[in-house]
Amino acid sequence: MERIAIYPGSFDPITNGHLDVICRASRLYDKVIVGVLCNGGKNPVFTPEERVDMIRSVTAGIGNVEVESFTGLLVEFAKAKDATVIIKGLRTVADFEYEFQMALLNKALNPEYETMFMMTDTKYSYISSSMVKELAGFKGDLTGLVPGSIINKIQEKYK
């Protein structure tokens, strides 16, 4: 049976920390589907299409990664994609508390899915999409925080 994992998130925008988790997960599972949440309550800066396009462009070299947007419950998206694993990245203890609760809720909604936590590489532990957007708003240098090929795309939003 193919082992399919979902890596869900807002990805507003994708960061080098996200990309690192995607690369590492792609070595552990037959297929990794990056699920971009469309209807989250976070008022995203980038449209779902822009977020999907940016992730597709930076993961184009990884053969077993697909990128799709989704709406509604994560467990329903996982079911539709025949996935059995949900991947979550952890940077800090603060992340853990929220993610632990979310994993238990998803387990209660559908016990078939396992949430697998992947610790961030220490060099990415301080990076978040929110910090990237704040820095971009101040015209700061995004080098090292997000893939170099999407820096222009992000900066365009803040012109």
Residues annotated as catalytic (active site), given as ranges: 18, 42, 91, 129
Q: Per CB under 6 A, does 37 bind ligand PNS? A: yes
Q: How far apart are CA 158 and CA 19, in angstroms?
A: 23
Coil, helix or strand at residue 110: coil
Q: Which of 5, 6, 8, 69 binds ligand PNS (CB under 6 A)?
A: 8
Cβ-contact 69, 36 below 8 angstroms:
yes
Q: How far apart are CA 112 and CA 60, in angstroms?
A: 30
Binding range to ligand PNS, per CB under 6 A, among 3-11, 23-31, 43-51, 134-142: 3-11
Nearer to ligand PNS, 75 or 136 (CB): 75
Binding range to ligand PNS, per CB under 6 A, among 8-16, 48-56, 110-118, 141-149: 8-16
Q: How far apart are CA 49 and CA 68, in angstroms?
A: 9
- Which residues would be at the binding site for ligand PNS (CB under 6 A)? 8-10, 37, 40, 73-74, 105
